[in-house]
Structure 1
Amino acid sequence: MRILVTNDDGIYSPGINALASIAARFGEVVVVAPDVEQSSMGHAVTHSRPLSYKKSPIEFDEGIEAYRVNGTPADCVALGTHLRNNIQVVLSGINMGPNLGNSMWHSGTLAAAKQAVLLGKKGIALSTPVGNTEPDFDLLTPYVEETLGLLLENPEEIGLYNVNFPPQPKGMRWTRQSVRFYDGKILPGKDPMGRKHYWFTVSPLEPAEQDTDRWAVEHDFVSITPLRLDLTDEKKLEQLKGSPVESMDR
């Protein structure tokens, strides 16, 4: 199996090193990641300037080639699969912070996995919360390995998965996305020079429903959510068929 590993935290993140090491147990791994942090970049792609790549300054396990790119997570997948056109699976993460519920819309980690699917590959995004200290990747390793064993069983399948690991898992669950309203707040502040700046922050307004990704992680379960790129609201589409829009056809 030929695996490309990327992230949105950048080439220096301990999460990508941990993921690459575990992924190497399943096949041949190449790392292609942003040269700087690209968190919350979403599915941005670079088209106004050329992309370039350089060998990573960070050492990965023996046998793992690693490169840094002056672009976004989606750029890294596009360039990485171009340079290695035999890639079957893209793994993105392990992100330093959860990607649950509505955060999927702006997640650079998930965007890399989505870009893989757009290119006809399997894409898997992996994330874990961050507290006052870095995640314990040694503790998470058995769960990451079990998850990859499950999702990589058929590497030729074109599928999109979003995985979130609680700090101390006690099991695994198939879940759906938690769709709940968030309050978007702008918090003003000042830098050391006295100049105004602003932080954008959000927090959920409602508790998570059972069997959603947020609920699973809050209850110490690994959340595995199968996703799709088609955003069509099928129920609404059925309601709208036969509406005045269609009656205007000539």
Structure 2
Amino acid sequence: MRILVTNDDGIFSPGIWTLAQAASQFGEVLVVAPDVEQSGVGHAISIAHPVRAYPHPSPLPTPHFPAYRVRGTPADCVALGLHLFGPVDLVLSGVNLGSNLGNEIWHSGTVAAAKQGRLFGLSAAAFSTPTNGEGLEFEALRPWIERVIQNLLRLERPFLVNVNLPHRPRGFLWTRQSVRSYEGVVVEGKDPMGRPLYWFAARPLMEAEEGTDRWAVEQGFVAATPLRLDLTDEAKLQPDLAHD
């Protein structure tokens, strides 16, 4: 099995190398990732300028993975990785430094990279873990990442799955996406020159429902959420439109 590993935090993030090590238990691993952090870029692709790629040395003594750092988006990295390395069987994205739960998947570059793999007809999964920048031990998560990959490989292919891992998992759950309302917040401040600047944030207006990805992670479970590319709201599809 050939596995393409990418992320949106950039090739220098420790999460991508933990994912690559875990994936190496299941096949040949190829790493292609942005040269700088691309968090929150969603499914952006580069069409107005060329994309550059540079060979990148693996920081791991063993196993050795061929790798490239790319001046482009996470979705670019998947498209270019497939061009550089040829056919692969599985695309894995992450492990992201920060959750991608519920509504966060709409703007997540991590999930978009997996989605790009699925758009190419491949099986794909995104991996994320909540973090405040302290106390995160990727090595402790690696056995859980391997267990998740084992579970994914039992699915009918092709698949697209969003995976979120708490720091100390106590189990694994299949979940649905949390869709809860938020209140938009704009926090105003000033830069060192006294010029106004703005931070965009959001506050949830309700608790996460049981059985959702956010609820599962809050309870200490690995949350695996199957996704699909078709965003059509079937319940609101009018019969006359359906036959056009």
Query: Contact between 2:181 and 2:205, CA under 8 Å: does it hold in 1?
Result: yes
Q: Distance in 1 between matches of 2:133 and 2:119?
A: 36
Q: Which moved more, 1:126-135 or 1:47-56?
A: 126-135
Query: Contact between 2:95 and 2:129, CA under 8 Å: does it hold in 1?
Result: yes
Q: Distance in 2 between matches of 1:114 and 1:13?
A: 21
Task: Give the secondary structure class of the aligned counterpart of 2:86.
Answer: coil
- Provide Cα deviations, 1:7-57, integer angstroms capped at 9, x if missing partner: 000011011111111111111001000000000100000001001100125
Q: Distance in 2 between matches of 1:183 and 1:234?
A: 27
Query: Contact between 1:171 and 1:220, CA under 8 Å: does it hold in 2?
Result: yes
* Residue number in structure 1 paired with 2:29: 29
- The AA in structure 1 aligned to 2:80 is L
Query: Contact between 1:177 and 1:213, CA under 8 Å: does it hold in 2?
Result: yes
Q: Distance in 2 between matches of 1:9 and 1:184?
A: 25
- Provide Cα deviations, 1:88-143, integer angstroms capped at 9, x if missing partner: 11100000000000011000000000000000111100000002415211221111
* Equivalence map 1:185-196=2 (5 Å): 185-196=185-196
- The AA in structure 2 aligned to 1:79 is L
* Residue number in structure 2 paired with 1:204: 204
* Residue number in structure 1 paired with 2:52: 52
CA drift of 1:193 comes to: 2.6
Query: Contact between 1:12 and 1:58, CA under 8 Å: does it hold in 2?
Result: no
- Provide Cα deviations, 1:154-179, integer angstroms capped at 9, x if missing partner: 6x821100000011110010000011
CA drift of 1:152 comes to: 2.4
Q: Distance in 1 between matches of 2:57 and 2:188?
A: 36
CA drift of 1:246 comes to: 8.6
- The AA in structure 2 aligned to 1:135 is L
Query: Contact between 1:11 and 1:58, CA under 8 Å: does it hold in 2?
Result: no
CA drift of 1:58 comes to: 5.0
* Residue number in structure 2 paired with 1:147: 148
* Residue number in structure 2 paired with 1:234: 234
Report how many aligned residue pairs link the two structures.
243
- The AA in structure 2 aligned to 1:102 is N
1:63–1:57 CA distance, 2 compared to 1 (3 A)? closer
Query: Contact between 2:6 and 2:74, CA under 8 Å: does it hold in 1?
Result: yes
Q: Distance in 1 between matches of 2:3 and 2:16?
A: 13
- The AA in structure 2 aligned to 1:203 is R
- The AA in structure 2 aligned to 1:45 is I
1:74–1:134 CA distance, 2 compared to 1 (3 A)? farther
Q: Which moved more, 1:174-183 or 1:130-139?
A: 130-139
* Residue number in structure 2 paired with 1:116: 117
* Residue number in structure 1 paired with 2:219: 219
1:134–1:13 CA distance, 2 compared to 1 (3 A)? farther
1:195–1:58 CA distance, 2 compared to 1 (3 A)? farther
Instruction: Give TM-score scaled by structure 1 length.
Output: 0.92
Query: Contact between 2:22 and 2:143, CA under 8 Å: does it hold in 1?
Result: no
* Structure 2 spans left out of the alignment, 5+ residues: none
Query: Contact between 1:30 and 1:64, CA under 8 Å: does it hold in 2?
Result: yes
* Structure 1 spans left out of the alignment, 5+ residues: none
Q: Distance in 2 between matches of 1:17 and 1:37?
A: 15
Instruction: Give TM-score scaled by structure 2 length.
Output: 0.95
Structure 1 runs, 4 residues or longer, greater than 4 Å off: none
* 1:69 counterpart = 2:70: yes
Task: Give the secondary structure class of the aligned counterpart of 1:102.
Answer: helix
Q: Distance in 1 between matches of 2:186 and 2:203?
A: 12
Identity %: 56
* Residue number in structure 2 paired with 1:97: 98
Task: Give the secondary structure class of the aligned counterpart of 1:3.
Answer: strand
* 1:159 counterpart = 2:170: no
Query: Contact between 2:4 and 2:88, CA under 8 Å: does it hold in 1?
Result: yes
